[in-house]
Each structure stands twice: as C-alpha cells, then as structure tokens.
Amino acid sequence: MRRMTAAAATVAVAALVLSGCSAAAPHGDGRGVEGYVEPGGGAAGRVRTAVDRGARVIGVDGAGLSDDGTHLLATSGDVGHLVGVAAHAGARTEVLFSNYSSTIGDFSPEGATALLSSSANRQRVVGELVDLAARLGTDGVQIDLESMRSRDRADLVTFTRELRAAVRDRLGDDAEVSIAMMASTDPAEYRARGYDLSGLAPHLDRTVLMTYDQHGPWSGPGTVGALPWTRKAVRTAIAGGLPTDRIDVGVAGYGYAWGPGAGSAPIPAARAAVMAGDRAEWSDRTGEWSATLDDGQQLHWSDDRSYAARRDLAQELGVHGVAMWSLNLSALPER
C-alpha cells in the first residue's frame, strides 16, 4: 500500500473538503467493505463517515517493522484513538503490520527477509504484534509485507501460521489474521513476490488483493487498476489456491499524474477531477477516469463511480467484498 508524504496528506484533506466528504459480512456475497486509514489530521472523522456508509472493517496503519527486521517500531498514539473511534462506531478493527521503511521511502525487501528467515525475529515480532493488538483493542492483525522475494515464500507461511495461532490464543477465537497482497495476473509473479497462495490459505481469514498500482510514477502512464486486469488478478489468485469467499478486491481512492511537474504522490480522486475539469473522460471498459492537461500532464484516477464498478465486480466473482485505500485520500462512497 502506498504511504503518503506529509504534503500529500495535506492535499488529501483539501480534496475531502472539496468532495464534501459490527460483524463482518457473510462470506462470498460481495458486501464486505474495509476502509484503510493512516493517522493524520481529520482521520477520525473520515473513519466515522466510512462506518456510517457501510465499512464493516477499519484497517489502521500503525505497526511498522524495523529496518533490520528484529522488532516493531514505536506506534503513534493516534493509532489507538482511531481504533477506538472505529470500534465505537460499530466496525471491526485490525492493525496493519508493514515493512515500509522511512529510510528508503518504500517497502523494504531486506527487512522482510531478515524478519521471516529468523525464528528468533519471528517470535519477537509476533509477540510484539499480539501485545500491540491487545493493547489497542483490535479484532486482529493484517500483514502488509510487500516487495518480498521468492526466497520468502515458505517463511511467510510459517510467520502467518505462528501469528494466527498467537492472535487466536491472546485475542480469542473470533480474532482474525488477514493479509494485503500485491496483485498480479501471472501465477509466477505471485511466487516471485513471496506468496505461496495455497500454503498461506489455511492460515488466513481474509486476503485483500491490492488490485491497484497497476501503473504509477515508476511506470509509464496508465490505469491505476483497470477492471479487466483486476478481474484476471482475482481469478489467478483463486486458481492458485485462495478461497473465493475470503478475498477482497482492492479499490483505489486516488490517481496519479505523469508528465511536466507531476509529483510521485497519489492524488486524491476529488483533486484529480478538479485538475482535469472538462477534459475528464470515463471508460466503461477500465472503470476509471483519464485526462490530458494543457501542460501535457496525463492523469488516471479512480473515484466513487470506479468504486461502484468494483463492488459490482466483487459480487459477480462471488468474493467477500472490497477494500479501499485509503480514507485519507478519498471518503468512502455512500451505499
């Protein structure tokens, strides 16, 4: 999942102003909704709005792995506040655990390998995660280890099994362990990214396929997560062994710009629409918007209409539901 810079968070708040912005759903009906949130100005209000609009789970980004893979970093006090807000509003909650490194400004493959390949590191981090979840009062933990490598596959399965056993033991049989997984349409790429789909499946209560960031600042201009690509990625994951009724389709609440003066941070959907003006073009095929500006910048973004198309896709495929990244960038659309 893409983290925001402080500047991007400020833009997100402005865009939300412009836009006016329980128990989990039964498996396999496409109605489950998760909204992700990062600590920051106005986040609590966006959580309340999301739950009011149907979010059944709120994932709070808050547990970071040290660069050397040996322990958790200190957690912001805002994380506990957001968990409390979500729970009070009636949603289940989970804390996100990631290998995002502020040192390199991206997810760290080395940090993930250092954690996963060491039984001592796994034991320490699992214990710290369970302690954190208990202290925060969450209903579970979501693994968000990204940019892993093929060598990490077996160790990720071991870590997931160990974490789930510890979570259930400490938080109760209803507590869950889920994973946010980088999406692909190629079975070999899932393996190359460190995912043993059939091996992970028995130890996960839910998998969020991050069917966004198909294109970004690291690539040429293109869709954030086109519908045909999303459909194929989900079907590839199912064929690889993930249970259909435990999959959530990832939905972007943002876009990107390419070209002169374009930055690398995600652009909130409402902001992208303002930038595009009457140049905005909708595609029924991709389920996204695009525009070419006077200065040559190219925009692609996903908004409320895109979200609705992916809710329909989730129901068509018979998966659990959808998960939107992130509430900081765009408000969860109304039902």
pLDDT over threshold 80, residue 57: yes
Residues 258-286 have a mean pLDDT of 97
pLDDT at 23: 40
Residues 266-274 have a mean pLDDT of 98
In a domain, 267, yes or no: no
pLDDT over threshold 80, residue 197: yes
27 band by pLDDT with thresholds 50, 70 and 90: low
In a domain, 45, yes or no: yes
Amino acid (1-letter code) at residue 238: I
Residues 254-272 have a mean pLDDT of 96
How many domains does the chain contain in total?
A: 1
In a domain, 268, yes or no: no
pLDDT over threshold 90, residue 31: no
How far is it, in rounded angstroms, from Cα 179 to Cα 190? 14
The first and second tokens of residue 199, run together, are 């091996």
Q: Residue 37: CB partners within 8 Å, gap ≥ 6? A: 43, 46, 47, 50, 58, 59, 60, 61, 82, 326, 327, 328
In a domain, 179, yes or no: yes
Residues 39-50 have a mean pLDDT of 95
Percent of the chain with pLDDT over 70: 92
4 band by pLDDT with thresholds 50, 70 and 90: very low
In a domain, 114, yes or no: yes
17 to 152, 263, 270, 290: CA distances (angstroms)? 42, 21, 9, 22
Residues 118-133 have a mean pLDDT of 98
User: CA angle 152-156-159, nearest 5°?
Assistant: 140
pLDDT at 29: 75
In a domain, 333, yes or no: no
The first and second tokens of residue 298, run together, are 């190219």
CATH of residue 207: 3.20.20.80
20 band by pLDDT with thresholds 50, 70 and 90: very low
pLDDT at 260: 93
Alpha helices in the chain (DSSP H): 6-19, 43-52, 77-89, 109-116, 119-136, 153-171, 187-192, 197-200, 227-239, 269-276, 304-317
In a domain, 278, yes or no: no
pLDDT over threshold 60, residue 6: no
19 band by pLDDT with thresholds 50, 70 and 90: very low
Q: What is the rounded radius of gyration, in angstroms, for the C-alpha atoms of the chain? A: 19
Task: Note whether 141 and 165 are within 8 A (CB).
Answer: no
1 band by pLDDT with thresholds 50, 70 and 90: confident
In a domain, 298, yes or no: no
Please tell me whether residue 194 adopts helix, strand or coil conformation: coil
Segments forming the whole domain that contains residue 248:
6-17+26-253+304-325
